[in-house]
Structure 1
Amino acid sequence: MEEYEPSSANLQDFFQNGVYESEEAKNLELPQWFLAALARGLLAPFVSDALVLRRTLLHVQVENMQRSSAHATALPIRQVIYGLLPNISPSSPTFLNQQSTSSSSIFREFDRIQKALKKSFVQAAVLPDNFCGDRYSLITLNKVSLADRMQLLLDTLGVTASVLEPIPCCLQLPIAVTCYWIKNTEPRVKLPHMKALLIGIVFGELEKTLYNSDPEVSCVEVNKIVHGQFCKWKGKKSPKESLELDAAHIFCQWQCCLQMGLYLNQLLCNPLPEPELSWLYCGTLVHRLYHELKSSSVPEDLLSTSPKLYQLYCNMVHVVKDATPAGFFQKKSKKHRKQSEQTSDHVLHERECTALEVVPSCSINNRFATLMVNN
């Protein structure tokens, strides 16, 4: 309860004059640029929780509870975020010693294992040699060159700046995250998943075009026809049996990767433009498109009636395929697929056993365990 006592900060000064001063922040010796970004909502509470409390809470989505948490896919991104946050205790160094294995580089994460709460201890990432040292402390992070900040972000997501060149600036971060997601997701992303996600992004761009376009532009009528068909898919009622938990889980993993990619980009003072999230993703539409694409190419054919949108879609598909290993989306033989599934199940079982060893009796201590429904 002590953590939720009213703050001594004067909020009236902030809302009337834009001035914000916090005694707690002064005691922690946080840099002014960091405080200003938090006050303006340019940094997520996730970052301040990790910095001050050394713990984070990962919210559960509607996902397949029999699989590892969707947040597991984005763990390497979170570790880089932790690596950029120093130990701000007054008795500690002003920035994180990257070679240290002390508690200053350990963060607690609260997530789920199946349907029970899990606490894990996560080691912050050791940044590459050219990113270590005083110049990458939190105090001076906003003064690091744009090229270096961009390089750290893209290295974390596993893409290069040249690969993203065909993509509009406002979509480069989501596409970079998509490349990362495809290479790290379990279960494996298939071609309909990838195409449904990218078509959903194009739909968001289409909506922006319709809301902002000149009514006399000739392509608007075609765009309205395309938009109308997508809206029909979005509102289409699917039969209950069409729900696929693994598909939902895969798209949840993308959202987790996007969330942490955004947080890392914000912490690095936005080397890539931040996308407009309200236009970027519609889960209902993406799921409908996924089911449609499993049996036909109608959504892609519909986009071809709008050359500008179709070109954007093709560019995104090419970028994502170029960033993934050759033959990644080729169908496996039944024998190979069965062996892969057995290996995946074995790895999942080992991960769950390891997690249970880290936090013993997590299900026993869960007072809601008796309410669980076995599938």
Structure 2
Amino acid sequence: MGVHGLTSYVEGNQQFFTDLKLRNTHLVIDGCSLYFRLYFTTGLDQIRGGDYDAFAKVVQRFFDALSSCNVSPFVVFDGGMDETDKKFKTLRERAQSKIHEAHSLSRGSHGSVLPLLTREVFRQLLCELAVPLVQCISEADFEIASLAHQWRCPVLTNDSDFYIFDLCGGYLPMTFFEWDNVCSKASERYIPARRFTVNRFCSHFNHMNKQLLPLFAVITGNDYTHAKTTEMFFSRVELPIVPRRRGSQSNPRIEGFLRWLSAFTNPVAALEEVLEILGGKQKGNLRKQLTAGIQDYQLPPTSSLAHFFSNSQLQTYDPLKLPAALTSQPEWLLKRITSGSLPPLVLDVLVLRRAILIAQVENSRLPSSHEASLNIRKTIYGLLLLRNAMQGNAGRGQRGRGGGGMKRGALTEQAQRLSAPCFVEEYDRLELNLRRTTVEAQLPTHHPQLSLNTLDQVATSVKLKVLLGTLGVMEHVLQLVVPHLHLPVCVTYFWAHSSTPKPSHSLLQCVVLGLVYGELCRRKVMLEDPLHVCASTAKVCQRLDQLRINSAQRRGVDLGVAHSLSQWQSCMWAGIYLNQLLCFPLHEPRCAWLFSGTLLHGLEAALRGGHQAESLLAGAPDALQLYSTLLGAVQGFVPQDQAAHHTAPFPAAGTSRQRGQGRRQRGAGGRGRHSRRRGGVSASGDLNNRFGMLTCEDESDED
């Protein structure tokens, strides 16, 4: 939520805080606030798509600092959009603002845009560091406050609503949380912080009743309050005159209203006076609206998240409190949502059939970079929303089978409903405006009978066919690729054929070089890996690092390169989510090692300027071999010594003309009998054997 203007007012008046030496305690952390704060305050790249490797190091340092002070973190993430849509206008306005900020950054000016994969990098780091985490169904503020209230521990966030919640452990604003300045000796280490408590705050306003603060928040204006209500009240009320004080932030409206409220002994009397001032025929509706807003700040004695963190096998959410669209969803899906293994996008599609796509720094004159990943998103939407299409398809299939089937035209009303098209409302950039479009959900071509209810129980080989079929990749392309790079290779292949304009060969090479660099860096930090002490590997990494663009450099961004790499990130983002929804038929890659924008922009400029990719890896045979293998895979062929097993390279997506011809020859429903000769996925039984060669361990079996 957030109370308008409250953060700047409170943080500008240091008398509302006390100094704290944070150590030996639980700490409830607002995950979204934290990764935003860590990314934006550490000078990391925003203009060229982000530097996830550098961000991962920052996250590691942050949690190392907590550990050194014996602070036990518990991270809570926001989920999807609120089902009531009371914040939807605010979300649209923020999305529109980010479009303009991304455009500003692309022109060398100022802005603030979070790189697309930041959340995934952060979530994966938490899992690697064994930091407990949970993802809420919608906005997390209330759940965070409830958990801290029960545990009587502080909250770390950057949300002004926590100036309203009554937490005995207090609220630690990130602005004053000096995690990178751990103090004292080893046995007495602590993190300097500043703590806010409601009791101390109210003492500065004639010891006002702290139960009046929720009414203050609702009237002052949060993300759920109509602006007209706020302005109407302040245009009519007579507030006390606020004296100016040296060294303090002044806000006559906020401070005057707090002084006005302090004259009331209880919130009931104050609410009646507020309604009297607002008046009008809508008084009954206003009472209902304000009462509902006040209730959002009333904390229960216990939190369901406390049970989850103590035993993650327990049911996290009361089914009666779930949005109606989620009450019938399978348990496996809700568990993966709660654990953060599925993104908020899944919740938005299931509950609201809506998706707001994240703005990136790109060429604003071209169509949105998210258009490149449209077909992946269609499959995600289909798996989520068309889970009963199997029955509808079965009914249609029986109609033409003669006397034993249904008569033509006798399709039942239920079958008609099940076979009706389903759409998701997407919000994305059109030039510099937020545009709404409808996207039709599509079931996977190869296995349209898949049901969301039992998707976790489907054989890995089947889910693999769906994933690779969506990305247009044959499994033989991946035979020589290490398993944790299978998905990046598949996505890069898809990107190379689905993007408009097509990426240049030098850009394709630089993306592959980026994957090689990430793999070398990943192995370098593993003590048991031979490359950990390999001098030639270290030299290659240093050579590539020297080609990085200065992250602080705003001018001179190649918008063509930036746009194409944003398309790659969109495809990777959607590909990761599809793989998650299918319960990981391919290993989930470590996002921190997949993409570094300043490196890729520098590599592309070097390759375009005449450098040879192989020369950049000279002296490191492992690096050269990996580059050759990955480049061959993303180009759709295998080395010569494997050619005997595959008569032709696989141009999965092909040119736009080839794709169009393929659709005319095969029809919209599947691939024709000649598809295997052309490199497509055969519909014959031979497909099972060929896909079986790449079967990976199904991570869902471990849950």
TM-score, reference length from structure 1: 0.78
Q: Residue deviations 1:204-251, cap 9 Å, x none?
A: 111112111459869611111111112211255898774221111000
Q: For 1:57, which of 350, 356, 368 is the aligned residue? A: 356
Deviation at 1:95, TM superposition (A): 7.6
Task: Tell me the residue number matched to 1:148.
Answer: 462
Task: Tell me the residue number matched to 2:534.
Answer: 220
Q: Given residue 430 of structure 2, which amino acid in structure 1 is its aligned partner?
A: I
Task: Tell me the residue number matched to 1:40.
Answer: 339
Structure 1 SS opposite 2:569: helix
Residue 10 of structure 1 pairs with residue 304 of structure 2: yes
Distance 2:317 2:532 in 1: 53
Distance 1:81 1:157 in 2: 12
Task: Tell me the residue number matched to 2:607.
Answer: 293
Distance 2:537 2:502 in 1: 33
2:386–2:441: 8 Å Cα contact kept in structure 1? no
Distance 1:294 1:94 in 2: 49
Residue 234 of structure 1 pairs with residue 548 of structure 2: yes
Overall identity of the aligned pairs, in %: 32
Residue 132 of structure 1 pairs with residue 453 of structure 2: no
Residue 169 of structure 1 pairs with residue 465 of structure 2: no
Q: For 1:114, which of 426, 431, 449 is the aligned residue? A: 431
Distance 1:218 1:77 in 2: 37
Higher relative contact order (CA 8 A, sep 6+): 1
Q: Residue deviations 1:285-321, cap 9 Å, x none?
A: 0010000000223442131311111101001111122
Of 2-11 and 44-53, deviating more is 2-11
2:551–2:598: 8 Å Cα contact kept in structure 1? no
CA pair 50-203 structure 1, distance change in 2 beyond 3 A = same
Deviation at 1:104, TM superposition (A): 6.5
Q: Given residue 361 of structure 2, which amino acid in structure 1 is its aligned partner?
A: V
Task: Tell me the residue number matched to 1:258.
Answer: 572
Distance 1:285 1:172 in 2: 22
Q: Given residue 500 of structure 2, which amino acid in structure 1 is its aligned partner?
A: E
Q: Residue deviations 1:269-294, cap 9 Å, x none?
A: 00000000011110110010000000
1:95–1:138: 8 Å Cα contact kept in structure 2? no
Distance 1:124 1:55 in 2: 12
1:38–1:44: 8 Å Cα contact kept in structure 2? yes
Task: Tell me the residue number matched to 1:366.
Answer: none
Distance 1:140 1:240 in 2: 49
Q: Given residue 377 of structure 2, which amino acid in structure 1 is its aligned partner?
A: R
Distance 1:97 1:81 in 2: 19
CA pair 190-158 structure 1, distance change in 2 beyond 3 A = same
Distance 2:597 2:570 in 1: 13
Task: Tell me the residue number matched to 2:381.
Answer: 82
Task: Tell me the residue number matched to 1:30.
Answer: 329
Residue 158 of structure 1 pairs with residue 472 of structure 2: yes
Task: Tell me the residue number matched to 2:584.
Answer: 270
Residue 194 of structure 1 pairs with residue 508 of structure 2: yes
Structure 2 SS opposite 1:131: coil
Task: Tell me the residue number matched to 2:422.
Answer: 105
Number of residue pairs matched? Answer: 321
Deviation at 1:26, TM superposition (A): 8.1
Q: For 1:314, which of 621, 628, 633 is the aligned residue? A: 628
Distance 2:581 2:443 in 1: 17
Q: Given residue 120 of structure 1, which amino acid in structure 2 is its aligned partner?
A: T
2:496–2:503: 8 Å Cα contact kept in structure 1? yes
Structure 1: 5+ residue stretches without partners: 330-375
Deviation at 1:179, TM superposition (A): 0.5
Deviation at 1:96, TM superposition (A): 8.6
Structure 2: 5+ residue stretches without partners: 1-81, 88-138, 144-299, 397-415, 638-649, 656-703
Distance 1:183 1:226 in 2: 30
Distance 1:21 1:325 in 2: 46
Q: Given residue 21 of structure 1, which amino acid in structure 2 is its aligned partner?
A: Y
Q: Residue deviations 1:129-168, cap 9 Å, x none?
A: x5233xx211100111111100010000000111111111
CA pair 306-267 structure 1, distance change in 2 beyond 3 A = same
1:56–1:109: 8 Å Cα contact kept in structure 2? yes
Distance 1:248 1:147 in 2: 36
Distance 1:178 1:261 in 2: 10
Distance 1:97 1:75 in 2: 25
Q: Residue deviations 1:323-375, cap 9 Å, x none?
A: 6759x99xxxxxxxxxxxxxxxxxxxxxxxxxxxxxxxxxxxxxxxxxxxxxx
CA pair 17-204 structure 1, distance change in 2 beyond 3 A = same
1:213–1:220: 8 Å Cα contact kept in structure 2? no
CA pair 58-72 structure 1, distance change in 2 beyond 3 A = same
Structure 2 SS opposite 1:167: coil
Residue 21 of structure 1 pairs with residue 338 of structure 2: no
Task: Tell me the residue number matched to 2:218.
Answer: none
1:96–1:104: 8 Å Cα contact kept in structure 2? no
Q: Given residue 304 of structure 2, which amino acid in structure 1 is its aligned partner?
A: N
Structure 1 SS opposite 2:439: strand
Runs of 4+ in 1 over 3 A off after TM superposition: 1-9, 24-27, 93-104, 213-219, 235-242, 323-326
2:509–2:613: 8 Å Cα contact kept in structure 1? no
Q: Residue deviations 1:177-214, cap 9 Å, x none?
A: 00100001111111110011110111111111211145
Deviation at 1:103, TM superposition (A): 7.0
Distance 2:448 2:540 in 1: 50
CA pair 96-314 structure 1, distance change in 2 beyond 3 A = farther
CA pair 276-303 structure 1, distance change in 2 beyond 3 A = same
- Pair member with larger Rg: 2
Distance 1:183 1:246 in 2: 17
Distance 1:273 1:267 in 2: 13
Higher helix share: 1
Q: Given residue 373 of structure 2, which amino acid in structure 1 is its aligned partner?
A: A
Q: Given residue 305 of structure 2, which amino acid in structure 1 is its aligned partner?
A: L
Q: Given residue 431 of structure 2, which amino acid in structure 1 is its aligned partner?
A: Q
RMSD value over aligned CA atoms? 2.9
Q: Given residue 22 of structure 1, which amino acid in structure 2 is its aligned partner?
A: D
Distance 2:462 2:442 in 1: 17
